[in-house]
Amino acid sequence: MLTTIQSLGQRGEGIAEADGKRVYVPFTLPGERVEIAAEGERGRLVEVIEASPDRIAPFCPHFTRCGGCQLQHLAPQAYAAFKRDLVATALGRAGIATEVGALVDARGNGRRRTTLHMRGRAAGFMGFHSHDLENLDRCPILVPALAKAPDIARAVQAAIGDGDVSFTATLTGIDVDVKPKHRARPERLSPLFTHLGLARLSLEGETLLMARPPLLKVGAATVEIPTQGFLQATEAAEDILAQLVTSALVGTKLIADLFCGVGPFALRLAEGARLYAADSDGDAVAALAKAVRNTRGLKAVEAVRRDLFREPLSAMELNRFDGLVFDPPRAGAEAQARDIAKSKVPVVVAVSCEPRTFARDAKILIEGGYRLESLTPVDQFAFSTHVELVGVFRR
């Protein structure tokens, strides 16, 4: 079937009309004349007849078969516009009119974290809208330290069978956590540990073997990361997000860092202000507290385990702070945002990896009297349809 791609959808798929219905075609671009095979609303690209001037050659030989990237074929200027539009669209649907800043490139050296699937001696990412696993020899969007991640995953699969393997590149080596599809015998993994030279090997979050604690540098501090803990995907993104947060909170003396994780913001902010840091992840909070104790020159940090979804800080609790930053999971922080909106905190910085939930929470703050002063999209999830955001709100 011959058709013309009319626009690019939020999941990075080209949108065409066929028999009066929308068809979503991955790896196509607006204005392109293409041949597709359509089944319902899903289309498969057969051939590009007339290419868009925004089409470029992808740099990875696995592109289109591997679902890890959706946008390697899109030229830089159009790519940046697409990501900014993801943010603008989400805000527009929430009734928020604001200027979206220029997209900040935060790819850095590549992603320091990834999870690979293991299936039948193959390791890689699933295909786009597919249950087929693309067996990777390498992944060029990962940091060089993770170049052997597919080989490590295949070695793990040979030992215990199918499942998933999560990797984190740290200062002291690779941290690996294995999640098998079926119950695994830990002793089968032990011989791999020394052979692969890992820093730590865990099974479903439980440490099996550790040669060296997995460490990361965060500002002036060094943090021993917990298994399965949250980190920004790239080191560059963490630095850029922290710069945006700290610059917005210059001059504040007592700051609340909500959904603090291991402290990527708290540990930097504590160089000039006192902190209250809260998160539901007890291991992350403990890692933050340990890093504070072991770092000279920081102001006081009160690190607290607290489920901010079930027990958000009330407006009365918040009123003692002159600055606040919150960085919730993709679901956002609706309950906490409602209490922030009732508070008197003069400056609030919202960090998010999901424009739609950010827009929802931003609307709550705006209706509570805050003004959205600036909004910066940050591109750490390169060549995907995900985008990070930093919004600064002031009373």
Q: Which domain CATH number covers 365? A: 3.40.50.150
- Is 353 domain-assigned? yes
Strand partners, 218: 221
pTM of the shown model: 0.94
Annotate 106-161 with three-state secondary structure: CCCCCECEEEEEEECCEEEEECCCCCCEEECCCCCCECHHHCCHHHHHHHHHHHHC
- Is 119 domain-assigned? yes
Distance of CA 140 to the CA centre of its chain: 18
Confidence at residue 186, expressed as pLDDT on a 0 to 100 scale: 87
- Is 225 domain-assigned? no
Phi, psi dihedrals of residue 394, rounded to the nearest 5°: -135, 150
- Is 63 domain-assigned? no
CA torsion sign, 203 to 206 to 210 to 213?
Answer: positive
Confidence at residue 304, expressed as pLDDT on a 0 to 100 scale: 98
Contact between residue 127 and residue 134 where contact means Cβ atoms under 8 Å apart:
yes
* Positions marked active-site: 353
Q: Does 11 share its domain with 97?
A: no
Q: Does 125 share its domain with 201?
A: yes
Q: Centre a 10 Å sphere on the Cβ of residue 259 and count the other Cβ atoms it contains.
A: 23
Residues 6+ apart with CB under 8 A from 286: 226, 303
Confidence at residue 19, expressed as pLDDT on a 0 to 100 scale: 79
Mark 165-177 as b/e (b = at least 16 C-beta within 10 Å). bbbbbbebbbbbb
Q: Does 280 share its domain with 326?
A: yes
Strand partners, 55: 74
> What are 302's two structure tokens?
């009160």
Residues 6+ apart with CB under 8 A from 198: 173, 174, 175, 176, 192, 209, 211
Total count of domains within the chain: 3
Confidence at residue 86, expressed as pLDDT on a 0 to 100 scale: 96
Q: Centre a 10 Å sphere on the Cβ of residue 50 and count the other Cβ atoms it contains.
A: 9
Q: Does 260 share its domain with 371?
A: yes
- Is 69 domain-assigned? no
Strand partners, 277: 257, 303
- Is 224 domain-assigned? no
Domain span including residue 294: 81-107+231-394
Q: Tens-of-pLDDT digits for all 395 residues of the chain?
A: 899 999 999 999 999 988 788 999 999 999 999 999 988 899 999 999 999 999 999 999 999 999 999 999 999 999 999 999 999 999 999 999 999 999 999 999 999 999 999 998 899 999 988 889 999 999 999 999 999 999 999 999 999 999 999 999 999 999 999 999 998 888 889 888 988 889 999 999 999 999 999 999 999 999 999 998 899 999 999 999 999 999 999 999 999 999 999 999 999 999 999 999 999 999 999 999 999 999 999 999 999 999 999 999 999 999 999 999 999 999 999 999 999 999 999 999 999 999 999 999 999 999 999 999 999 999 999 999 999 999 999 99
- Is 248 domain-assigned? yes
Confidence at residue 194, expressed as pLDDT on a 0 to 100 scale: 84
Residue with tokens 């994780």: 261
CATH of the domain at 41: 2.40.50.140
Residues 6+ apart with CB under 8 A from 14: 5, 6, 7, 8, 24, 25, 26, 27, 28, 29, 30, 32, 34
Q: Does 181 share its domain with 329?
A: no
Q: Measured between alpha carbons, how far apart are the two ends of the chain, in Å?
A: 55
pLDDT tens for residues 159-179? 999 999 999 999 999 999 999
Residue with tokens 């798929």: 13
- Is 48 domain-assigned? yes
Last residue of a domain, one of 182, 214, 246: 214
Q: Please, is 349 exposed, middle or buried when counting C-beta atoms within 10 Å of its C-beta (0-12, 13-18, 19+)?
A: buried
Confidence at residue 214, expressed as pLDDT on a 0 to 100 scale: 97
Q: Does 250 share its domain with 375?
A: yes
Q: Please, is 251 exposed, middle or buried when counting C-beta atoms within 10 Å of its C-beta (0-12, 13-18, 19+)?
A: exposed
Angle, helices 355-367/76-93, rounded to nearest 10 degrees: 40
